[in-house]
Amino acid sequence: MSNAGDFAPNTKTHEMAMEDKITSVSKEKRVIKPAAEFQKQANIGSMTAYRKMYRESINSPSKFWAKQAKDFLVWRKPWNKVVEWKAPHAKWFTGGMINVAENCLDRHLGTARENKAAIIFEGEPGDVRTITYKQLHGEVCRFANVLTRLGVKKGDRVAIYLPMVPEAAVAMLATARIGAIHTVIFGGFSSSAITERVNDCEAKLVITADGGYRRGGVVELKKNVDEALKKTPSVEKVVVVRRCGNSVQMKKGRDVWYHEELEEASPVHKAKGFSSENPLFILYTSGSTGKPKGVLHTSAGYLLGTALTSYYVFDLKEYDTYWCSADVGWITGHSYVVYGPLCSGATTVMYEGAPNYPDIDRFWSIIERHRISIFYTAPTAIRAFMRGGDEPVKKHDMSSLRLLGTVGEPINPEAWMWYYKTIGGGRCPVVDTWWQTETGAIMITPLPGVTPMKPGSATLPFFGVEPEVVDDSGRKVPKNSGGKLVIKRPWPSMLRTLWGDDKRFKEQYWSQFPGIYFCGDGCRQDKDGYYWIVGRIDDVLNVSGHRLGTAELESALVSHADVAEAAIVSKPDEIKGSGVVAFVTLKAGRNGSDNLKKTLREHVGKEIGPIARPDEIRFTEGLPKTRSGKIMRRILKEVASGGDRYGDVTTLEDFNVVARLAKTGEDE
């Protein structure tokens, strides 16, 4: 449970002596009914309709999924069997043949969509490109021919290390089109992260760019690749996209320019069908420490999961301009920037740069200028904007928005309300979507316009998803008590294994409760059946015998008017086993004082109860986060205990944060 490098010996013995129950302490009671106007036009029209369809999906899964697969995908050859389940291995739509890229592109040609924008791209410097389905199809076909000419075949691994530019989508789709497997490496990762991932999957070819724009500067991606490739024997070719025009070294015989190759390539490419279970991509996701896990997704089931959720959760309509602000380096970028929206024929927006460049209102300016109707982002971004106040939002016309979404971590109710009111003007439903890299697609979520929303809860399961909150022996816990979140049956977009490590796959997800998927999250189900994620089990705190989820404590702190963001960790305490340390960032213009510390402790005591009062509060300018917005609690734990063994910090968004954090304890 605990990872090496932290306080495993102490906490572990302590935890084992404890009851396995997680105490959930949130007192959030608000219910927000969706607007009738939205409901009238929603893709699913009522709770009755949702419940009926959900029941069908659970009672007759094969029939349900067969119908969806027929309605949402185009097939080269129909499947024989909907699912073959030999726990923990699932195969979906066996016998079927499909081409993922054809589903995202060719199927829209010859329809009214062919001249519709598939991608609207905005670069950080402000350059805008609109690419229609027909144009995107042409470029993907050309690039598929290039990849083939460079020796890439079905099953080969292709690493993609690009900024958020349309070529990233082209690279993914072209790789998929020829039945090869992509692994997208986030453009913010360092060269050692590239080496590790490329070697793990033995990629044959790397697609990168000279550079990408970030906060006004150029991130030299090709340089990182050159460094990384000193130790990657599998790589034969490198394709380089010209983005910034910065000078790069091209290695003879290995490196080629994307634009030069495309020029020579034929725009005609006949897509072949591949089996439903042909691997589509590997995406590395880090555990809190140790070697990243290569989550493997395959073709038909994954695509169906993303297409179905895109349609129902984002209520996609032909006229929508949809923007998911995630980078393609994360699963959200795979499923809800590229595959889900394009399979649905939607217009998907890609933005290259930082959310606060040149100013904190960049996102709102993008929404105003492109008339975006659906916006999907992360709680960490929402809290950062909230910290800057309402003024930057009010400068812009946000009336094009009709639906908002969030993903990545539990959203604290205060941030939810701000998002709903200030960004959505109180008229847009907010879909708080719970899912994981491993689940491929959204699992627990409101249906917009239909599900009554509770700020902070991802609400109810999507079709075909059977969650349960259980204790350590796998028994369902009573409503309103905390436990572990499991998924009790296979679903089409689930991960198939971890690349090259089926043993770890079994141990990680299927060993706690045999035959049942354990996602690693703590959770509580309320009396209405709503799910409330209380945080990762690894982060659960143990305070005088109570196991508390970090999310609820952090949310209590953030509900104080002066607080922008908070992160809670435990530190070893000789008497209590562990004590609670809160790292707090304040809203603009607020000052951290001893008085405020006292007030905040009392505030948490009032919101939750005296047991949860932090032992120590430290004000800080920033929190150590990964670029996907997850707080790196491992680092905070180390800081809280006065240590400096931070471990691997290559995924850290801002290295300076650690130095500043270390100073937070100096006045104590």
Least distance from ligand WT7 to the Cβ atom of residue 118, Å: 23
Measured from the CB atom, the residue of 263 and 507 that comes closer to ligand WT7 is 507
Contact 191, 224 (CB under 8 A): yes
- Give residue for tokens 């689940």: 439
Question: Is residue 508 involved in binding ligand WT7 (CB under 6 A)?
Answer: no
Contact 601, 613 (CB under 8 A): yes
Contact 340, 312 (CB under 8 A): no
Contact 416, 433 (CB under 8 A): no
Q: Which of 6, 200, 432, 468 binds ligand WT7 (CB under 6 A)?
A: 432
Least distance from ligand WT7 to the Cβ atom of residue 114, Å: 31
Least distance from ligand WT7 to the Cβ atom of residue 268, Å: 36
Q: Which of 435, 463, 518, 619 binds ligand WT7 (CB under 6 A)?
A: 435
> Which of the residues 282 through 321 are near ligand WT7 (CB under 6 A)?
285
Least distance from ligand WT7 to the Cβ atom of residue 435, Å: 4
Q: Which of 34, 211, 345, 410 binds ligand WT7 (CB under 6 A)?
A: 410
d(CA 139, CA 179): 17
Helices (H), 518-611: 550-558, 594-607
Measured from the CB atom, the residue of 147 and 470 that comes closer to ligand WT7 is 470
Least distance from ligand WT7 to the Cβ atom of residue 535, Å: 7
Least distance from ligand WT7 to the Cβ atom of residue 491, Å: 14
Question: Is residue 92 involved in binding ligand WT7 (CB under 6 A)?
Answer: no
Find the distance separating the first CA and the last CA of the chain, reported in whole Å.
31
Question: Is residue 440 involved in binding ligand WT7 (CB under 6 A)?
Answer: no
* Tally: H helices and E strands in the chain: 22, 30
H/E element, 416: helix 413-418
Angle, CA 342 vertex, CA 189 and CA 307 arms, to 5°: 95
Size of the site for ligand WT7 (CB under 6 A): 20
Contact 136, 170 (CB under 8 A): yes
Measured from the CB atom, the residue of 138 and 408 that comes closer to ligand WT7 is 408
Structure tokens at 631: 């707080």
Least distance from ligand WT7 to the Cβ atom of residue 297, Å: 12
Question: Is residue 448 involved in binding ligand WT7 (CB under 6 A)?
Answer: no
Q: Which of 175, 437, 555, 559 binds ligand WT7 (CB under 6 A)?
A: 437
How many residues are listed for the chain in this entry? 668
Q: Which of 521, 512, 513, 447 is nearest to 483 (CA)?
A: 521
Q: Is the dihedral of CA 151, 152, 156, 162 positive or negative?
A: positive
- Give residue for tokens 């302590």: 14
Q: Which of 98, 158, 519, 568 binds ligand WT7 (CB under 6 A)?
A: 519
Q: Which of 190, 246, 436, 508 binds ligand WT7 (CB under 6 A)?
A: 436
Least distance from ligand WT7 to the Cβ atom of residue 65, Å: 21
Three-state secondary structure along 15-59?
HHHCCCCEECCCCCCCCECCCHHHHHHCCCCCHHHHHHHHHHHHH
Least distance from ligand WT7 to the Cβ atom of residue 269, Å: 31
Measured from the CB atom, the residue of 124 and 521 that comes closer to ligand WT7 is 521
Stretch that binds ligand WT7, among 138-146, 307-315, 513-521, 638-646 (CB under 6 A): 513-521
What is the identity of the amino acid at 161? Y
Least distance from ligand WT7 to the Cβ atom of residue 286, Å: 8
> Which of the residues 527 through 566 are near ligand WT7 (CB under 6 A)?
533, 536
d(CA 588, CA 389): 8
| Integer angstrom CA distances of residue 457 from 198, 236, 642 | 37, 47, 35
Least distance from ligand WT7 to the Cβ atom of residue 140, Å: 25
Question: Is residue 341 involved in binding ligand WT7 (CB under 6 A)?
Answer: no
d(CA 617, CA 642): 14
**Cβ-Cβ contacts under 8 Å for 87 (sequence gap 6 or more):** 490, 510, 514, 515
Least distance from ligand WT7 to the Cβ atom of residue 520, Å: 6
d(CA 516, CA 498): 17
Longest alpha-carbon distance in the chain: 72
Stretch that binds ligand WT7, among 67-75, 128-136, 358-366, 433-441 (CB under 6 A): 433-441
Binding-site string for ligand WT7 from residue 465 to residue 504, where x marks contact by CB under 6 A and - marks none: ----------------------------------------
Question: Is residue 458 involved in binding ligand WT7 (CB under 6 A)?
Answer: yes
Question: Is residue 433 involved in binding ligand WT7 (CB under 6 A)?
Answer: yes
Q: Which of 124, 139, 327, 521 binds ligand WT7 (CB under 6 A)?
A: 521
Measured from the CB atom, the residue of 64 and 416 that comes closer to ligand WT7 is 416
> What is the four-CA torsion angle of 58, 86, 500, 439, rounded to 10 degrees?
10
Q: Which of 434, 463, 491, 619 binds ligand WT7 (CB under 6 A)?
A: 434
Least distance from ligand WT7 to the Cβ atom of residue 461, Å: 13
Q: Which of 156, 277, 409, 468 binds ligand WT7 (CB under 6 A)?
A: 409
Q: Got the DSSP string for 218-230?
A: EE-HHHHHHHHGG
Measured from the CB atom, the residue of 331 and 636 that comes closer to ligand WT7 is 331
| Integer angstrom CA distances of residue 445 from 77, 410, 435, 457 | 32, 12, 9, 9
Stretch that binds ligand WT7, among 66-74, 190-198, 357-365, 407-415 (CB under 6 A): 407-415
Q: Which of 183, 321, 332, 497 binds ligand WT7 (CB under 6 A)?
A: 332
Measured from the CB atom, the residue of 173 and 458 that comes closer to ligand WT7 is 458
- Give residue for tokens 């491992």: 634
Least distance from ligand WT7 to the Cβ atom of residue 331, Å: 5
- Give residue for tokens 């691994």: 157
> Which of the residues 595 through 634 are near ligand WT7 (CB under 6 A)?
628
Angle, CA 549 vertex, CA 543 and CA 550 arms, to 5°: 95
d(CA 363, CA 367): 6
What is the identity of the amino acid at 326? A
Question: Is residue 324 involved in binding ligand WT7 (CB under 6 A)?
Answer: no
Least distance from ligand WT7 to the Cβ atom of residue 119, Å: 21
d(CA 619, CA 584): 5
What is the identity of the amino acid at 426? G
- As a whole number of Å, the CA-based R_g of the chain is 24
Least distance from ligand WT7 to the Cβ atom of residue 611, Å: 23
Stretch that binds ligand WT7, among 86-94, 167-175, 403-411, 412-420 (CB under 6 A): 403-411
Q: Is the dihedral of CA 333, 338, 339, 342 positive or negative?
A: positive
Least distance from ligand WT7 to the Cβ atom of residue 437, Å: 3
Question: Is residue 331 involved in binding ligand WT7 (CB under 6 A)?
Answer: yes
Question: Is residue 407 involved in binding ligand WT7 (CB under 6 A)?
Answer: yes
Nearest to ligand WT7 by Cβ — which residue? 437
Which residues bind to ligand WT7, rule: CB under 6 A?
285, 331-332, 407-410, 432-437, 458, 519-521, 533, 536, 628
